[in-house]
Amino acid sequence: MELILDKKTPFHSFHKEHNAKLISFSGYEMPIQYKGINFEHNHVRNSVGVFDVSHMAQILINGNNAFDLVQKITTNDISKLVDGKVQYSCMLNQDGGIIDDLLVYQIKVNSYMLVVNAANTKKDFDWICLNNTFGLEVVNVTEDRGLLAIQGPKANMILQRLTNIDLNNISYYSFKIGEFAGCQDIIISNTGYTGSGGFELYLDKKFASKIWKSLFINNDILEPIGLAARDTLRLEMGYCLYGNDINESRSPVEAGLSWIVNMKKDFVGKKIIANHIRFGVNEKLVGFLMEEKGVPRKDYNILNESGENIGVVTSGTLSPLLKIGLGMGYVLTDFANVNSIIFIVIRGKKIKAKIVKTPFYEK
């Protein structure tokens, strides 16, 4: 049997230089942590950190009917996009289940970049091609590219010295393409997965070394951040993680993502979603804070006050910033109200928690 080795991102050698703990993740060898999860998490909240997220897939769709294809396969309304704007969206199967959540970048009219989850790359690409009845050019450029997320309240200060583009003029979920650290055609995008502000840099992999080194030159506040802290940061914001909080058996209505579904247009899976909106759903995704000491984890059972099983935890952690257990999970709709008391089964014990609005963390 042929041994399939994990891919390496263009920044792999730098992770080793920074003594990263590396793990296999979605087919890549990725840094899970450097100096420790708590340190890295709080550094992003209070200062600035850089994440290598080059494993995220970048798929380009070009051609005269590119608008029609992207509008068909995504739930949000891309007619609201203009050049230089980004949109959070998802792709659904015919049963209304979430194939993936993604970002849609409008590079120009009928030219889009879809940024999708690494583990779903082949599935997403195949789904796009299956629906490509327009003869469009669909290309997965991930292996020729790199992607860095520079996140935190001091991100602007770190980045502005390396570009003539005024970062203050790039609004949230917008981007500009230009020179960065002497490298051309860099997409500088005001997006992220942390809730602490910052930018993401999409680049040709030939520029990876120069850009990474430039970020750290004459700079003693930037820290490399691993995927573990990325997970705790997104969880404090109540952001969904594909494979945990959303999957093909869950619809955006169940997952609290109705805000990225536009029912005024047509899209794959619309009929099922219309039924979910009209008749309701049996379960909903909620956020909860532990009222007693305990750390919730994926697949722990959720009980009501009568001790009946009403759901399951999909994501959970001990918040490095709030110093409290928190999580997300699906519960029966009748028990999904904010301020409802629930119990998480942790090592055989019922530990009290309360359903709350997300985000858990606010600046």
- Residue of higher predicted confidence among 254 and 1: 254
Counting residues of the chain whose pLDDT is more than 70, the rounded percentage is: 99
Mean of pLDDT values over 81-104: 99
pLDDT for position 207? 99
Q: Does some domain include residue 249?
A: no
Model confidence pLDDT, tens digit, residues 314-339: 999 999 999 999 999 999 999 999 99
User: Do residue 23 and residue 164 come from a single domain?
Assistant: yes
Residue 186 resides in a domain: yes
**Token pair belonging to 327:** 């999580």
Same domain? For 150 and 219 the reply is: yes
Summarize the chain as % helix, strand, coil (round to 5). Answer: 25, 35, 40
- The region that residue 161 occupies, defined by phi over 0 for left and psi between -120 and 50 for alpha, beta otherwise, is alpha
Question: Strand 223-225 vs strand 49-52: parallel, antiparallel, or unpaired?
Answer: parallel
Q: Which of 85, 56, 45 lies closest to 225, judged by CA?
A: 45
Confidence of residue 5 (pLDDT cuts 50, 70, 90): confident
CB 250 within 8 A of CB 97: yes
- According to DSSP, residue 152 is labeled S
CB 155 within 8 A of CB 198: yes
Whether residue 2 has pLDDT greater than 90: no
Structural domain includes residue 336: yes
48 with 148, same domain: the answer is yes
Phi and psi torsions of 144, nearest 5°: -100, 0
| Residue type at position 247 | N
Residue 244 lies in a domain: no
DSSP 246: B
Please tell me whether residues 151 and 232 are part of one structural domain: yes
Residue where one domain finishes, among candidates 236, 264, 296:
236
Q: For 32-36, what is the mean pLDDT?
A: 98
CATH number of the domain residue 334 falls in: 2.40.30.110
Confidence of residue 65 (pLDDT cuts 50, 70, 90): very high
pLDDT at site 3: 60
**30, 151: one domain:** yes
The reply to whether 310 and 173 lie within a common domain is: no
Cα separation, 266 vs 139, in Å, equals 24
- Radius of gyration of the chain from its Cα atoms, rounded to whole angstroms: 21
How many distinct structural domains can be found in the chain? 2
Question: Based on the domain organization, do 295 and 230 belong to the same domain?
Answer: no
Beta bridge partners of 59: 114, 140
- Give the total residue count for the chain: 363
Residue 228 lies in a domain: yes
pLDDT confidence of residue 1 = 55
What is the model's pLDDT at position 363? 76
The pLDDT of residue 147: 99
Domain edge (last residue) among 236, 253, 269: 236
DSSP sequence for 106-146 = EEETTEEEEEE-GGGHHHHHHHHHHH-TT--EEEE-GGGEE
Do 33 and 160 fall within a single domain? yes
- Residue 183 and residue 326 share a domain: no
| CATH number of the domain where residue 191 is located | 3.30.1360.120
**Same domain for 341 and 211:** no
pLDDT at 257 over 80: yes
Residue 50: pLDDT over 80: yes
186 and 314 belong to one structural domain:
no
Task: Classify residue 111: in a domain, yes or no.
Answer: no
Domain that holds residue 16: 12-53+143-236
Spatial CA neighbour of 222 closest among 40, 88, 350, 81: 40
Please check whether residues 228 and 286 belong to one and the same domain.
no
pLDDT above 60: residue 273: yes
The C-alpha atoms of residue 235 and residue 227 are separated, in whole angstroms, by: 12
Mean pLDDT of 153-171: 98
> 306: Cβ–Cβ under 8 A, 6 or more apart, which residues?
none
* Residue bearing tokens 């969880």: 235
CB 90, CB 252: distance < 8 Å: yes
Average pLDDT over the chain reads 98
Q: Does residue 39 lie in a domain region? A: yes
Q: Is residue 124 part of a domain?
A: no
Q: Which amino acid would we find at residue 117?
A: N
What pLDDT was estimated at residue 362?
Answer: 86
**In this prediction, what percent of the chain has a pLDDT beyond 90?**
98
